[in-house]
Amino acid sequence: MGTELTTTNEIAAGSAAQVEARRPGEVKPAVKRAGRGWAVPVVGTIVILLVTEAAIRSGLIDTRFLPAPSTIFRALIDESRTAVFWASVRDTLKGWAYGLGLAVLLAVPIGIMVGSSAWLYRATRFVVDFIRPIPSIAILPVFMLVFGIGPSLKVYIATLAAFSPLFFQTMYGVQDVDPVARDTARAYRLNGLMRFVFVSLPGSTPYIATGLRLSASIALLLVVGTEMVVGLQGLGNLIIRAQYALDLPRMYALIVTSGLLGIAIAWLFTRMERRTLRWHASQVKETAI
């Protein structure tokens, strides 16, 4: 069950291309490699933008719903000249970073503990399974009561949201450590701490990296969502204000900004994840075959 879920998560969060990178053992036919260049995606994206532009200019799509891409782009340029925009981006990123950092500090040690003890794992399984499907956003009202409404609220909500993928990935990672390595360490009578530092931690690093990538995206989602619901300063709040003012080009420009942040974060953490994978035992083994 554990391993199955892990791959599930990986595939979910990675694009098709990212998922490919997770299976270096597979031999790919040369034909598939041929189309690797930049040309097709770049041309494709330009065509999509031009078609959308044309559809809006010709009145096929109502500008009350979707402004032309060029209009959105111009609004984005205008927006990037204002101080409020950058302050909001900074606020959103700050909440995201603190939330994610706190989640790492909590989830990784707890995940390692639960993952390395069959007793703890079984004792917590039911409670964890029950809490798991509750969306983090539904806990927002509780946090509003407990922590009050302020900038720290989005930090705690981001922590809550980022906790779950990190915790599960860490736990699966520890449970999935190569049994031979584990037994060898035991045979050499390495103590608990040494086993943790030299066996469990390196063995589960790729899993933790995957968890981190998933958590990073979810944390951003919850920070923006909290800013929207509660009205805290940040990108989410700017979007809402543009929406209420029916200033569509600006609203879309801000949504595009949030998408760009999302892409940047995903890209960054995917790279980190690949780095941890390069030296991981499972990869070495697979490429050796």
Say if residues 116 and 170 touch (Cβ distance below 8 Å).
no
Residues 150-179 that bind other proteins (CB under 8 A): 175
Residues 25-44 that bind other proteins (CB under 8 A): 29, 32, 35, 40-44
Looking at the Cβ atoms of 39 and 193, the one nearer to other proteins is: 39
Say if residues 186 and 195 touch (Cβ distance below 8 Å).
yes
Residues 233-262 that bind other proteins (CB under 8 A): 235-236, 239-240, 242-243, 246, 248, 251-252, 254-256, 258-260, 262
Say if residues 256 and 121 touch (Cβ distance below 8 Å).
no
Which residues make Cβ contacts (< 8 Å) with residue 4, sequence separation at least 6? none
Interacting residue with other proteins among 27, 130, 188, 189 (CB under 8 A) = 130
**Binding of other proteins by 8 (CB under 8 A):** yes
Interacting residue with other proteins among 50, 105, 131, 245 (CB under 8 A) = 131
Residues 187-206 that bind other proteins (CB under 8 A): none
**Binding of other proteins by 268 (CB under 8 A):** no
Which residues make Cβ contacts (< 8 Å) with residue 144, sequence separation at least 6? 153, 230
Say if residues 143 and 163 touch (Cβ distance below 8 Å).
no
Number of residues that bind other proteins (CB under 8 A): 80
**Hunting for tokens 């981190």 — which residue is that?**
212
Phi-psi region of 168 (alpha: psi -120 to 50; beta: other; left: phi over 0): alpha
Smallest separation (angstroms) from other proteins to the CB of 224: 4
Smallest separation (angstroms) from other proteins to the CB of 270: 11
Stretch that binds other proteins, among 83-91, 182-190, 196-204, 221-229 (CB under 8 A): 221-229
Measured CA to CA, the distance from residue 9 to residue 29 in angstroms comes to 26
Looking at the Cβ atoms of 129 and 193, the one nearer to other proteins is: 129
Residues 47-66 that bind other proteins (CB under 8 A): 47-48, 64-66
**What DSSP character marks residue 59?**
T
**Binding of other proteins by 134 (CB under 8 A):** yes
From the CA atom positions of the chain, what is the Rg in Å? 23
